[in-house]
């Protein structure tokens, strides 16, 4: 059974969060630290009789919610009116310093049957490690509380975006995709040494590698999906790939039909920006029935290859015709090895613009265009 709706949150001098959040009943009070130390003006007294929660269990974890339950001794159990929940991000050097830094983490929930759902997008982020501890409390007639000792500290990690969340991102991306332009090739830029290595050590076939952590923090493909990155955007005036690149002066080009055809499936993977005016859309092309296809089928929204806002493949007069969205930068991941003999490698004539690189790029959590209403 889920907890009642929120009353209001702990107040803090810098906290911007005073809005209503579903499924958690909170009251504005000062709370003690986990070690039992209490501030002199906290208005909270100790009462040994209240049972201490133990054997805490976390279940039904999503990207912005979880269920929590625990065991308690029956002694004085009927005196419990509230639960105090201390929820904190687990400290790590890679934490996003821009996220929720002023949000209080100690919550006060009315005592309801367990398990209780904790939900709130402003204090829970996807794919993030948290610690949680619990106290039981009894509210007195004068408004003060008597409390138990803190429980043991439990660690857990929130989940990736679900298909529902990715569909919300997809719908936002569709709004700005723009009109469709023709394309004829997919291309991949690298340094000369990369292609030499592929020829010498991998039998001329580029191998899939695990996607980095660029893009949305909750993306289910980051650090998990294996594939090869390709680009397909063209210059508006020439209809050809741009001559500039952030990834190296050598470019592999392959006819679009070699990678994208009726024997492949197309999936939407992500939508993000990096504190810039332009936005990126990640698409995944997977040969039907391949391991990459099975991975995506379970996690990503599938697109109709003939009719979508980003990248299409259709037959006209017996010839395959391809189009891409004009107003977003497409990053295409192909999930199988690609033999260099299917295309050509040549040096580009433009510049190597490192500022355009998206390697491990962090998404702007404040952008209203490409964020959805769950943890960033």
Residues 6+ apart with CB under 8 A from 225: 210, 211, 269, 284, 292, 295, 296, 333, 335
Which domain-ending residue is among 137, 158, 179? 158
* The length of the chain, given as a count of residues: 376
Residue entry with tokens 């690609």:
338
- pLDDT at residue 154 in the model: 93
Asked whether residue 120 falls in the same domain as residue 196, the answer is: no
| Residue 19 belongs to a domain | no
- pLDDT at residue 359 in the model: 63
Asked whether residue 180 falls in the same domain as residue 295, the answer is: yes
Alpha-carbon distance 144 to 150, whole Å?
18
Q: What percent of the chain has pLDDT over 90?
A: 52
301 burial type by CB count under 10 A (0-12 exposed, 13-18 middle, 19+ buried): middle
| Residue 285 belongs to a domain | yes
Give Cα separations from 266 to 36, 44, 308, 352 (angstroms): 54, 57, 10, 29
Q: Could you tell me which residue, 270 or 274, shows the higher pLDDT? A: 270
Q: Residue 358: how many CB atoms within 10 A of its CB?
A: 17
Of 11-20, 59-68, 268-277, the least confident: 11-20
Assign residue 75 the CATH number of its domain. 2.60.40.10
Asked whether residue 248 falls in the same domain as residue 308, the answer is: yes
What's the CA angle centered on 350, arms 349 and 351, to 5 degrees?
135
Asked whether residue 170 falls in the same domain as residue 135, the answer is: no
| Residue 320 belongs to a domain | yes
Q: Does residue 273 surpass a pLDDT of 70? A: yes
Secondary structure tally for the chain: helices H, strands E: 4, 23
- pLDDT at residue 26 in the model: 37
Number of domains in the chain: 2
Alpha-carbon distance 303 to 295, whole Å?
15
Q: Residue 302: how many CB atoms within 10 A of its CB?
A: 16
Which domain-ending residue is among 158, 180, 207? 158
Asked whether residue 184 falls in the same domain as residue 323, the answer is: yes
Alpha-carbon distance 184 to 265, whole Å?
18
Q: What percent of the chain has pLDDT over 70?
A: 79
Torsion of CA 90, 96, 101, 104, to 10 degrees: -30
Pair of tokens at residue 284: 């995944």
Of 132-146, 241-255, 343-357, the least confident: 343-357
- pLDDT at residue 122 in the model: 54
pLDDT digits (tens, 9 = 90+) for 159-216: 999 999 999 999 999 999 999 999 999 999 998 999 999 999 999 999 999 999 888 8
| Residue 111 belongs to a domain | yes
Q: Could you tell me which residue, 160 or 45, shows the higher pLDDT? A: 160
- pLDDT at residue 199 in the model: 95
Asked whether residue 128 falls in the same domain as residue 178, the answer is: no
Q: Given the DSSP bridges, would you call strands 209-210 and 264-272 parallel, antiparallel or unpaired?
A: unpaired
Q: Given the DSSP bridges, would you call strands 280-287 and 205-206 parallel, antiparallel or unpaired?
A: unpaired
Q: Which of 256, 199, 194 is nearest to 231 (CA)?
A: 256
Alpha-carbon distance 323 to 283, whole Å?
14
Asked whether residue 313 falls in the same domain as residue 224, the answer is: yes
The range of the structural domain enclosing residue 334 comes to 163-356
Asked whether residue 80 falls in the same domain as residue 120, the answer is: yes
- Using only the alpha carbons of the chain, give its radius of gyration: 26
- pLDDT at residue 242 in the model: 79
Asked whether residue 193 falls in the same domain as residue 215, the answer is: yes
Asked whether residue 181 falls in the same domain as residue 257, the answer is: yes
| Residue 304 belongs to a domain | yes
| Residue 49 belongs to a domain | no
pLDDT digits (tens, 9 = 90+) for 85-105: 988 888 654 444 434 443 445
Assign 5 a pLDDT band (cuts: 50, 70, 90): very low
Of 51-55, 73-77, 259-263, the least confident: 73-77
For residues 223 and 211, the answer to whether their CB atoms sit within 8 Å is yes
- pLDDT at residue 107 in the model: 81
Asked whether residue 213 falls in the same domain as residue 70, the answer is: no
For the segment 51-59, the average pLDDT, to the nearest whole number, is: 94
Residues 6+ apart with CB under 8 A from 110: 3, 4, 25, 81, 82, 83
Which domain-ending residue is among 142, 158, 174? 158
For the segment 341-368, the average pLDDT, to the nearest whole number, is: 76
The average confidence (pLDDT) of the chain is 81
For the segment 238-256, the average pLDDT, to the nearest whole number, is: 84
Asked whether residue 336 falls in the same domain as residue 192, the answer is: yes
For the segment 305-323, the average pLDDT, to the nearest whole number, is: 93
Of 22-26, 42-46, 292-296, the least confident: 22-26
| Residue 8 belongs to a domain | no
Assign 365 a pLDDT band (cuts: 50, 70, 90): confident
Secondary structure (DSSP) of 265-322: EEEEEEEE-SSSSS-EEEEEEEETTSHHHHHHHHHS-EEBTTB-SSEEEEEETTEEEE
212-216, long-range: CB < 8 A, 24+ apart: 212/359, 212/360, 213/360, 214/272, 214/358, 214/359, 214/360, 214/361, 214/362, 215/270, 215/272, 215/280, 215/282, 215/358, 215/361, 215/363, 216/161, 216/169, 216/270, 216/271, 216/272, 216/363, 216/376
| Residue 198 belongs to a domain | yes
Q: Residue 325: how many CB atoms within 10 A of its CB?
A: 24
């Amino acid at each position: 059974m889920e907890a009642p709706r929120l009353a209001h949150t702990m107040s803090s001098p810098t906290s911007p969060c005073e809005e209503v959040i579903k499924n958690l009943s909170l009251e504005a009070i000062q709370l003690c630290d986990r070690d039992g130390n209490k501030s002199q003006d906290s208005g909270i007294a100790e009462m040994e009789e209240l049972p201490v929660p133990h054997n805490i269990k976390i279940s039904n974890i999503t990207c912005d919610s979880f269920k929590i339950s625990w065991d308690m001794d029956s002694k004085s159990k009927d005196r419990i009116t509230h639960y105090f929940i201390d929820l904190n991000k687990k400290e790590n050097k890679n934490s996003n310093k821009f996220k929720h830094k002023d949000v209080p983490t100690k919550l006060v929930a009315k005592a309801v049957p367990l398990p209780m759902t904790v939900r709130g997008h402003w204090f829970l982020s996807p794919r993030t490690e948290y610690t949680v501890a619990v106290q039981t409390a009894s509210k007195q007639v004068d408004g003060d509380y008597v409390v138990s000792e803190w429980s043991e500290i439990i660690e857990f990690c929130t989940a990736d975006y679900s298909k529902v969340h990715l569909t919300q991102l997809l719908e936002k991306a569709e709004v700005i995709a723009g009109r469709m332009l023709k394309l004829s090739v997919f291309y991949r830029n690298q340094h000369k040494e990369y292609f030499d290595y592929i020829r010498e050590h991998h039998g001329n076939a580029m191998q899939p590698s695990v996607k980095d952590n660029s893009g949305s923090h909750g993306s289910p493909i980051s650090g998990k999906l294996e594939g090869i990155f390709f680009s397909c955007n063209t210059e508006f005036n020439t209809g050809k790939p741009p001559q500039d690149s952030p990834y190296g002066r050598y470019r592999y080009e392959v006819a679009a039909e070699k990678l994208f055809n009726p024997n492949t499936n197309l999936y939407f993977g992500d939508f993000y920006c990096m504190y810039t005016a332009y936005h990126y859309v990640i698409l995944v092309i997977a040969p039907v029935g391949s391991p990459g296809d099975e991975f995506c089928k379970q996690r990503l929204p599938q697109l109709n290859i003939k009719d979508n806002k980003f990248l299409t493949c259709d037959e006209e007069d017996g010839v395959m015709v391809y189009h891409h969205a004009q107003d977003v930068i497409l990053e295409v991941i192909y999930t199988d090895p690609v033999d260099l003999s299917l295309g050509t490698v040549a040096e580009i004539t433009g510049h190597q613009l490192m500022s355009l690189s998206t390697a491990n790029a962090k998404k702007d959590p404040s952008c209203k265009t490409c964020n959805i209403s769950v943890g960033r």
